[in-house]
């Protein structure tokens, strides 16, 4: 009985963590042919180390403000740091001249619209967002 209960709890735990991992996705402009990135590549792109997509498009971060669920997910699940620490890091890289200032967006619709408008844009939106033509998902390896 105890063993069954443990297995059930483990299964429920795994399902919950899988749901959390799929909660948000990385999106790109569809003209950008790069369909997948490693998490390390994404971290480098969002902090100015990687300046171009493998396709050659100039990288441009599109981010929501502090407190937005997408930024929380990005900082905790991709970078493993607090939101303040991530924003400070990004601000410092802009200050250094190593990355272009992120384009700010308020709400997922605006983020998606910015990604559609900027060929090298990268943004985070919830997995349930409907992506219009001109915007595609980036698979994280």
Partner 1 sequence: MKHRLRPLAPLVLTLAFAGAAQADGVTVNAYGDVNYFGSKIDLKLPAGYPEQPPIYSSTFSMSRVTTMLTGSLGRLTLISENTFQVPLFSGSNDFLIDVERFEISYQVHEWLRLKAGRFHSAFGYYNDTYHSGYYYQLQVDRPGFTKFEEDGGLIPARAIGVHADGRFKLGASGALRYDVEVANSRGATVEAIANRQDLLRSKSVNFRLRFEPSFLEGLVVGANYYFGGIPGSAQTTFNPLTHVQATVVVPPMDEKIVGAHLAYVEGNIHFIAEYAHFLHSVRGGGPDYHTNAGFFEAGYSFGEVTPYVLLDAIRMPSVNGAIQDPYFAVAPAGIIGTRLSLGCGVKWQVVDGLALKIEAQRAETDSVQILLLSSQAAVAF
- The binding site for partner 1 (CB under 8 A) comprises 40, 43, 49-52, 56, 58, 66, 80-82, 84-85, 87-88, 91-92, 94-97, 100-101
Of 25 and 47, the one with the shorter C-beta distance to partner 1 is 47
Of 14 and 58, the one with the shorter C-beta distance to partner 1 is 58
Q: Which two tokens stand for residue 38?
A: 């490693």
Taken in order 125, 38, 32, 82, is the CA torsion positive or negative? Answer: positive
Max Cα distance, the chain (Å)? 61
Of 31 and 101, the one with the shorter C-beta distance to partner 1 is 101
- Tell me how far apart the alpha carbons of residues 80 and 77 are, in angstroms, rounded to a whole number: 6
User: Could you tell me the smallest distance in angstroms from the CB atom of residue 52 to partner 1?
Assistant: 5
Of 22 and 66, the one with the shorter C-beta distance to partner 1 is 66
User: Could you tell me the smallest distance in angstroms from the CB atom of residue 110 to partner 1?
Assistant: 16
Decide: 65 and 71 in contact? Cβ < 8 Å.
yes
CA nearest to 47, candidates 22, 80, 16 = 80
Of 82 and 128, the one with the shorter C-beta distance to partner 1 is 82
- Tell me how far apart the alpha carbons of residues 137 and 69 are, in angstroms, rounded to a whole number: 18
Question: Within 10 A of 125 (CB to CB), how many other CB atoms are there?
Answer: 25
């Amino acid at each position: 009985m105890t063993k069954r209960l443990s297995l059930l709890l483990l299964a429920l735990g795994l399902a919950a963590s899988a749901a959390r991992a799929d909660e948000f996705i990385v999106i790109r402009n569809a003209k950008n042919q790069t369909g997948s990135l490693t998490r390390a590549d994404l971290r480098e792109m969002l902090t100015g180390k990687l300046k171009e997509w493998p396709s050659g498009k100039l990288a441009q971060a599109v981010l929501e403000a502090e407190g937005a669920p997408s930024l929380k997910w990005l900082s905790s699940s991709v970078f493993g740091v607090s939101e303040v620490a991530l924003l400070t890091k990004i601000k410092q890289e802009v200050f250094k001249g190593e990355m272009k200032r992120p384009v700010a967006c308020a709400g997922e619709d605006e983020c998606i619209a910015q990604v559609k408008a900027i060929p090298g844009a990268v943004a985070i939106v919830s997995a349930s967002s409907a992506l219009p033509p001109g915007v595609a998902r980036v698979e994280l390896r």
